[in-house]
């Protein structure tokens, strides 16, 4: 069965410092993995996705994530946080091999202070 665990419900960083949002997954096959971001009163936006190509995936707004099969992890990072990064982030794994239905983690709220 597929599942995803986001290890932190809330992460707080200062502007200009690195961001690390942790995600571990469980999948019976090589998964497709995604990170989505949700800003207040906005819909979900795809940040990046891993689909068995390069293990280091670059996304929008300077975010990237590394797929580590040995650790079953897909952590999201950014070298330098910006105030506008404050949002809720969801790690997502495919529900099926077609990648058309998704299981979401519980989300990590990122707070950025000046």
Candidates 32, 57, 73, 110; binder of other proteins (CB under 8 A) is 32
How many residues belong to the site for other proteins (CB under 8 A)? Answer: 26
Examine residue 105 and tell whether it contacts other proteins (CB under 8 A).
yes
Instruction: Based on the shown chain and the rule CB under 8 A, indicate whether residue 106 belongs to the binding site for other proteins.
Output: yes
Binds other proteins by CB under 8 A, chosen from 15, 22, 44, 77? 44
In the complex, the smallest distance separating the C-beta of residue 40 from other proteins, rounded to whole angstroms, is 11
| CB-based contact 87:112 (threshold 8 Å) | no
Write a three-state SS string for 60-88: HHHCEEEEECCCCEEEEEECCCCHHHCEE
Residue 22 engages other proteins in binding (rule: CB under 8 A):
no
Q: At its nearest, how many Å lie between other proteins and the CB of residue 60? A: 13
Question: Where does residue 95 rank: exposed (0-12), middle (13-18), buried (19+ CB within 10 A)?
Answer: middle
């Amino acid at each position: 069965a597929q599942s995803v665990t986001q290890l932190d419900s809330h992460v707080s960083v200062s502007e200009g410092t690195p961001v690390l949002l942790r995600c571990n997954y469980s999948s019976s096959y090589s998964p497709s993995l995604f990170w989505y971001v949700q800003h207040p009163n906005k819909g979900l936006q795809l940040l990046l996705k891993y689909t068995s190509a390069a293990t280091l995936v670059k996304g929008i707004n300077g975010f990237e994530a590394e797929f580590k099969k040995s650790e079953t992890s897909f952590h999201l990072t950014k070298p330098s946080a910006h105030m506008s990064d404050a949002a809720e982030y969801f790690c997502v794994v495919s529900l099926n091999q077609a990648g058309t239905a998704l299981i979401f983690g519980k989300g990590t709220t990122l707070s950025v202070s000046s």
